[in-house]
């Protein structure tokens, strides 16, 4: 942590940010992985602390109780839900089960680095479709490519730009994709999307049985270290994936953490609002400095390539952000201290 950040990151500010409970675990300059800047909600921490007493016992052979809990929350049948360690783990499991080595898989470029990584593990052949100039998926080009592919992946919000395509555009895209092509919609950041921009994911899987939706408890819920990801879709797809569920594969803390998180919904929404307010503040402050970012609907912002030498700015400041080969940069929205550090680093380029 730089001296400048240490000077301003006072005990009062830690309390205001909700970080005073775990000060040693917090680094306001770690902005590369889109982690939630806040520790788990108090009720979740308390539930997890109590669960440690059972750490000498194995978790359930299969996470049926957690599966049912999530299904009830979504309004789907338990058979339509699968669980693995993190959303990327769910995707890896699905690709292992629902594809064959050498199959083409369509995805945007750039995209979450985990997507081409797990595609490579499964021996698939990525077909990369560039984003449009505004940072949106080129859904028409992806639909064309999907005609000759086994799988197509769409992030909504997109990672790294944070952009969302209108619901009508997503619907048109799904209508154009062949019914025997698997469509994976990655909604890792969907909790940060405002009501006006959300899509009816449960309704989509009912109308399009070739669609599977990924979600995670790593981002908005702040449980990245517990690795709880899930997917939901048509039973003819989820049944196949569930059949390969690893015995004792979900930690005993998973059910406890998810149940406590669901019971603390109002507190969770307060956290989400604080992050989205901080996102808006960061964007507005950057805009006042003549720097535009994408209209991100997640817990990060994206600065495009070419505007400034971003690597020079952030590497010299000690801030850890995610750089992309074309020169763009993704910055996690953190606490007040994180925002100040980012603005100071960018201002240093002037």
Per residue of the chain (350 residues), give pLDDT as tens: 333 333 343 444 445 445 444 444 568 899 999 999 999 999 999 999 999 999 999 999 999 999 999 999 999 999 999 999 889 999 999 999 999 999 999 999 999 999 999 999 999 999 999 999 889 999 999 999 999 999 999 999 999 999 999 999 999 999 999 999 999 999 999 999 999 999 999 999 999 999 999 999 999 999 999 999 999 999 999 999 999 999 999 999 999 999 999 999 999 999 999 999 999 999 999 999 999 999 999 999 999 887 678 988 898 888 999 999 888 999 999 999 999 999 999 988 76
Chain centroid, CA 160 distance in Å:
10
What is the predicted pLDDT for the residue at 17? 47
Handedness of CA 98, 104, 108, 112 (dihedral sign): positive
> Between the CA atoms of 206, 207, 210 and 213, what dihedral angle is there, to the nearest 10 degrees?
-50
> φ, ψ for residue 309 (rounded to 5)?
-80, 80
What is the predicted pLDDT for the residue at 11? 46
Q: Are 54 and 240 contacting, i.e. CB atoms less than 8 angstroms apart? A: no
CATH class of 50-263: alpha beta
Q: Are 187 and 231 contacting, i.e. CB atoms less than 8 angstroms apart? A: no
Of 47, 63, 49, 39, the closest CA to residue 263 belongs to 47
Q: Is the peptide bond before 110 cis (omega within 30 degrees of 0)?
A: yes
What is the predicted pLDDT for the residue at 26? 66
Instruction: Determine the Cα–Cα distance for residues 74 and 198; give it in Å rounded to an integer.
Output: 14
Q: What is the CATH number of domain 3-40+265-347?
A: 3.90.1150.10
Instruction: Determine the Cα–Cα distance for residues 57 and 84; give it in Å rounded to an integer.
Output: 20
In which element (H, E) is residue 303 found? Answer: strand 300-303
Q: Are 264 and 272 contacting, i.e. CB atoms less than 8 angstroms apart? A: no
What is the predicted pLDDT for the residue at 125? 97
Q: Are 132 and 103 contacting, i.e. CB atoms less than 8 angstroms apart? A: no
Instruction: Determine the Cα–Cα distance for residues 330 and 302; give it in Å rounded to an integer.
Output: 4
Instruction: Determine the Cα–Cα distance for residues 279 and 274; give it in Å rounded to an integer.
Output: 9
Q: Are 41 and 267 contacting, i.e. CB atoms less than 8 angstroms apart? A: yes
Quick one: 50 exposed, middle or buried, by C-beta within 10 A (0-12, 13-18, 19+)? exposed
Q: Are 79 and 207 contacting, i.e. CB atoms less than 8 angstroms apart? A: no
Instruction: Determine the Cα–Cα distance for residues 228 and 69; give it in Å rounded to an integer.
Output: 13
Instruction: Tell me whether the CATH fold assigned to 3-40+265-347 matches the one assigned to 50-263.
Output: no
Of 69, 90, 58, 72, the closest CA to residue 242 belongs to 90
Instruction: Determine the Cα–Cα distance for residues 11 and 64; give it in Å rounded to an integer.
Output: 43
Helices and strands per DSSP (H, E), number in the chain: 14, 10
What pLDDT, in 10s, does the model give residues 283-309? 999 999 999 999 999 999 999 887 678
Q: Where are the domains of the chain?
A: 3-40+265-347, 50-263
pTM for the model stands at: 0.91
What is the predicted pLDDT for the residue at 7? 33
Of 234, 229, 262, 254, the closest CA to residue 85 belongs to 229
């Amino acid at each position: 942590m730089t001296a400048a950040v240490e000077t301003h990151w006072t005990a009062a500010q830690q309390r205001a940010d909700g970080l005073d409970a775990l000060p040693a675990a917090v680094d306001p300059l770690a902005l590369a992985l889109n982690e939630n800047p806040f520790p788990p909600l108090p009720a979740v921490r308390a539930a997890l602390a109590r669960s440690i007493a059972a750490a000498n016992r194995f978790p359930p052979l299969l996470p049926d109780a957690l599966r049912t809990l999530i299904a009830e929350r979504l309004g789907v049948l338990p058979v339509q839900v699968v669980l693995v360690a993190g959303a990327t783990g769910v995707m890896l499991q699905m690709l292992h089960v629902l594809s064959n080595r050498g199959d083409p898989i369509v995805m945007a470029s750039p995209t979450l680095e985990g997507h081409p990584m797990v595609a490579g593990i499964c021996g698939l052949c990525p077909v990369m479709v560039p984003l449009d100039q505004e940072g949106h998926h080129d859904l028409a080009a992806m639909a064309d490519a999907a005609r000759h592919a086994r799988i197509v992946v769409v992030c909504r919000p997109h990672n790294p730009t944070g952009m969302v395509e209108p619901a009508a555009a997503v619907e048109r895209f799904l209508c154009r994709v062949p019914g025997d092509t698997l469509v994976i919609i990655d909604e890792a950041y969907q909790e940060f999307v405002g009501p006006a921009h959300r899509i009816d994911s449960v309704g989509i899987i009912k109308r399009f049985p070739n669609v599977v939706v990924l979600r995670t408890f790593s981002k908005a819920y702040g449980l990245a270290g517990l690795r709880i990801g899930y997917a939901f879709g048509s039973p003819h797809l989820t049944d196949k994936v569930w059949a390969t569920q690893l015995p004792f594969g979900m930690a005993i803390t998973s059910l406890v953490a998810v149940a406590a998180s669901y019971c603390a919904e109002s507190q969770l929404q307060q956290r989400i609002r604080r992050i989205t307010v901080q996102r808006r503040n960061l964007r507005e402050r950057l805009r006042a400095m003549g720097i535009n970012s994408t209209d991100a609907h997640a817990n990060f912002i994206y600065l495009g390539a070419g505007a400034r030498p971003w690597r020079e700015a952030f590497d010299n400041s000690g801030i850890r952000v995610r750089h992309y080969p074309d020169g763009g940069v993704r910055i996690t929205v953190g606490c007040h201290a994180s925002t100040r550090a980012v603005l100071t680093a960018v201002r240093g380029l002037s």
